[in-house]
Structure 1
């Protein structure tokens, strides 16, 4: 093995690193244009489905429950008979009240005859003023008794009508808490059943005061509540196909949670291919938890970037853009809605800037970069599978 001369070895060691390995150029990065595009604005909240009408079915009179006239879970119409209470005791009370009316009418007729006789006697001088006054009082008393007996008939008729317990609304009825044979009274703790309306349904959700102000500022100039639609995602993540509209915004802020309640109406038709009235025939159920999306009814022009292009540190969210001198510059941004791997930039970019989305780990603010469209190979790079360049007059290296 031959050794290099000492002078030659020392001269090689004295060469700078750049001379040994070649110059290091600016880091290669991929950039995307921060262009504006149509975006549907959306903000998500947690909400609950509520029936517009919810009625607890209770007995209005005391009696034995004779019949349940519905199937649990079926849809009923207003006026449908749900339960029947034993009728004979109430029919007997009605007959007795009518008999009392007949007796009161007879008493009144007799009092009127006595009053007429007392007047004749008083006019001829054979009767006294006291007898006439007594006859008048008895006639008035008999008339009042007749009115009371007639009112008792009306009460008995109402009570008899209450033995048929009817549905006051259209809706779906739940389980029955009592079976025929039990005694029911108006004072029972639990209702006999509950009927909830089905279409439309309400979506109830709360919004923090800060979020409410942001929504108001965003949509106030476009028409307020009429400029948004309400969309729902079910518990399994499926989007519900029907859209709703806000119908009510509470007039008070909850002092415990600093939030305000909003309520929207949303259609709940029978599902396609399912027979109405069968279990699960409608998608939305009273009391169901859902994800509520408050969306703008019309798309707006906004800047959308890949989520990976947005960095974060103690100063907040920011992106790196390439300026006219081909240097990376930091731009603080305010983020909006995130959809999958895309995020809306609400503030911080004007549009048209070149935002670095690839090679961010190799760049520092103020550093010169070698920018190329994201996803494209760097300048001078050899495409995969292409042959190496051949020097003039030589063989491939």
Structure 2
């Protein structure tokens, strides 16, 4: 009777243990799953990358030029002035246009000068008539003397009268020529071909030799560029080896906006003496100017290409950024924008900048989207010109 309870008691005691072990196993599984999921819950997403346009830094053969500051000069420059006094009757040109040699520019009222020509011509006719009469009288005096009916004194007086008449003819003939020249000066024409400036007088004003410059004409094609070369540059060129033929030195100029003139010039003059105030030698080159892009007095940068081309790294000018520390560019390295300090050579190659130091070639240089680039930020590189401005996540 006692075995029943004794036998049943272990079974009753085992049930709580089984339940407890199963509970512990479930709790451990939950804790393990929670621990495994915890890092995933705390992980932060990758920051968004800024899309930028890049271009590879290229190595290119560059002619290393010598740079100077020069000024454009017209080979011919004429100040137009009035040679006779009179009222200005007409201005016959448009200011700033190109005129040909002989083109009428001004006209002075010719009436008084035409009258002066007539008056001089009348005096010349009288002198010629007097010369004819004096010649006849000399012949008569000589005939009388030959027949012993005249005197030597009468013949000599007739000869003197003829000489005086001839002198009067010569003087009056010169007066006629002078009057005609003055009449021609009433028509002021262009003495050379070139571009004409503005007029300083208008119709109705009295002009003359004392009126000053009426207008100015400068020739257009070719044009000169004159620039000073220091003694240091001359010595450097001599130390660099054999002297180059100056007719083979290419002369290129750049305008104030950085653009390069499309025509190549050649040196045609080196001054024979040194300017004592600046210790420089004036040098002049001639450049074609078919499109009249060069203007007299224009300030330009002059580049002389004298040596053999050197291989240099070039990048677009738009990639350069300047600050107090100098000039730098952004390059893409390992998906991030990195600052590279560079040394830029003077001059350039077309629209590119020549890099002396800081880049070795092949770097992906950022040229588009620079406004939003900061050192170290993630960037996504695409070819230049394909940036749309949106932010793209990194992949």
Residues 173 and 374 of structure 1: CA distance in aligned 2, closer, same or farther (over 3 Å): closer
CA deviations over 1:241-297 (Å, ceiling 9, x no partner)? 111111111011001110000111111122xxxxxxxxxxx321111111111113x
Give the drift of 1:38. 3.9
Give the drift of 1:234. 0.6
Give the drift of 1:239. 1.1
- Which of 142, 147, 151 is matched with 1:119 structurally? 142
Superposed structure 1 runs of 4+ greater than 3 Å apart: 36-39, 215-221, 301-306, 335-341
* Pair 1:343 & 2:356 matched: yes
Give the drift of 1:214. 2.2
What TM-score results when the alignment is normalised by the length of structure 1? 0.64
* Pair 1:87 & 2:100 matched: no
* Pair 1:58 & 2:81 matched: yes
Q: Partner of 2:317 in structure 1?
A: none
- 1:338 and 1:87 mapped to 2: Cα distance? 57
- Which of 277, 297, 314 is matched with 1:256 structurally? 277
Give the number of aligned pairs: 274
SS of the residue corresponding to residue 300 of structure 1 reads: coil
- 2:263 and 2:109 mapped to 1: Cα distance? 45
* Pair 1:214 & 2:214 matched: no
- 1:285 and 1:104 mapped to 2: Cα distance? 55
Q: Partner of 2:100 in structure 1?
A: 77
* Pair 1:201 & 2:195 matched: no
Residues 66 and 301 of structure 1: CA distance in aligned 2, closer, same or farther (over 3 Å): closer
Residues 304 and 107 of structure 1: CA distance in aligned 2, closer, same or farther (over 3 Å): same
- 2:200 and 2:177 mapped to 1: Cα distance? 31
Q: Partner of 1:143 in structure 2?
A: 166
Give the drift of 1:187. 2.4
SS of the residue corresponding to residue 66 of structure 2 reads: strand
Give the drift of 1:41. 2.1
- Which of 176, 185, 199 is matched with 1:153 structurally? 176
* Pair 1:269 & 2:290 matched: yes
CA deviations over 1:148-200 (Å, ceiling 9, x no partner)? 11111111111111111010111110000000111111122x31000011111
- 1:181 and 1:337 mapped to 2: Cα distance? 55
Q: Partner of 1:102 in structure 2?
A: 125
CA deviations over 1:328-377 (Å, ceiling 9, x no partner)? xxxxxxx9867535239xxxxxxxxxxxx69xxxxxxxxxxxxxx997xx
Larger Rg: 2
Q: Please, which runs of 5 or more residues in structure 2 have no aligned partner?
A: 1-58, 315-343, 364-377, 379-395
SS of the residue corresponding to residue 187 of structure 1 reads: helix
Instruction: Indicate conservation of the 8 Å contact 2:105/2:190, yes or no.
Output: yes
- 1:217 and 1:78 mapped to 2: Cα distance? 48
Residues 229 and 136 of structure 1: CA distance in aligned 2, closer, same or farther (over 3 Å): same
What TM-score results when the alignment is normalised by the length of structure 2? 0.64
RMSD, aligned α-carbons: 2.8
Instruction: Indicate conservation of the 8 Å contact 1:244/1:264, yes or no.
Output: yes
**Mapping of residues 316-331 of structure 1, within 5 Å:** none
Deviates more, 1:85-94 or 1:205-214: 205-214
Q: Is the helix fraction higher in 1 or 2?
A: 2
SS of the residue corresponding to residue 215 of structure 1 reads: helix
